[in-house]
Amino acid sequence: MTQDERRVYLIKALLAEDARYQGMEIPADAFQQKRLLRALFNVRMPKLVSAEFLIVQDAYLQEATRQKGITDLSDLTPTQEGLYLWQGDITTLRCGAIVNAANSQMLGCFCPNHGCIDNAIHTYAGVQLRAACAELMERQGHEEETGRAKLTPAFNLPCDYVLHTVGPIVGHWLTRKDRELLASCYRSCLDLAEQDGIQSVAFCCISTGEFHFPNDKAAEIAVRTVKEYQQQTHSKIEVIFNVFKDIDLEIYQNLLQ
């Protein structure tokens, strides 16, 4: 199958799962097809899928990521011992684990084509990730607490694992509790990585964006917490601070000079 043929196959299979989509036309334009496929991935509830679907989906997503360009940790230069700063798409980073800024349901973003990192990670990992998260949450029996973390395979992402953590949602003003919970997100992820022998972790800018944590304060907490963890535990985990926006790049550059 070509990449175009895989995309059409996946769209047809996902449309066939729901009677509400019967009769929906598939756009001829490749860009619109990609948006439709991502939207269908985003709204799909965790449930069984055929082995054939997974074979086609995995080939499609891995090729899509290859076309975007994969960055290997070994190609990056540390800014300080054991610390890296990298601006780019975290779903294209090959390392031990990447961190997902999740919500308390831990099932990914259900908003079609949303721009959050939770949406991107679940999209390019494939439907297996939502199913794995659903299984974890069913066993837990309650929503994930803020400041905690869960570990899953990365499936079709170039990294090995995904660490899912729920950051604090900031209200009208930033509180001491918000700061403590954000620091807990970083420690929880590093603790899990240490327990599982993961040698490198890429942190996104947890709680900024949709959760309204001020970017500069969030970065200060991130860098301080990671450095304290390394000093207190003598951890050899390499940490990548991943940024996407120029404003975050500038903030982290100043902190890591």
Radius of gyration of the chain (CA): 19
Residue 210: band (very low, low, confident or very high) from pLDDT cuts 50, 70, 90: confident
Q: Is 124 within 8 Å of 164 (Cβ atoms)?
A: no
pLDDT tens-digit profile of 228-253?
A: 999 999 999 999 999 999 999 999 99
Q: What is the pLDDT of residue 198?
A: 98
Q: For the residues 164-175, what does the mean pLDDT come to? A: 92
Quote the percentage of the chain above a pLDDT of 90. 94
Q: For the residues 113-141, what does the mean pLDDT come to? A: 97
pTM given for the model: 0.95
Q: What is the pLDDT of residue 223?
A: 98
Ranges of beta strands (E only) in 175-248 are 200-203, 238-243
Q: Is 108 within 8 Å of 129 (Cβ atoms)?
A: yes
Buried b (16+ CB within 10 A) or exposed e, 107-125: bbbbeeebebbbbbbbbbb
Beta strand 93-94 with 83-87 is: unpaired
Q: What is the pLDDT of residue 64?
A: 98
Residue 211, pLDDT > 90, answer: no
The DSSP element (H or E) to which 69 belongs, if any, is none
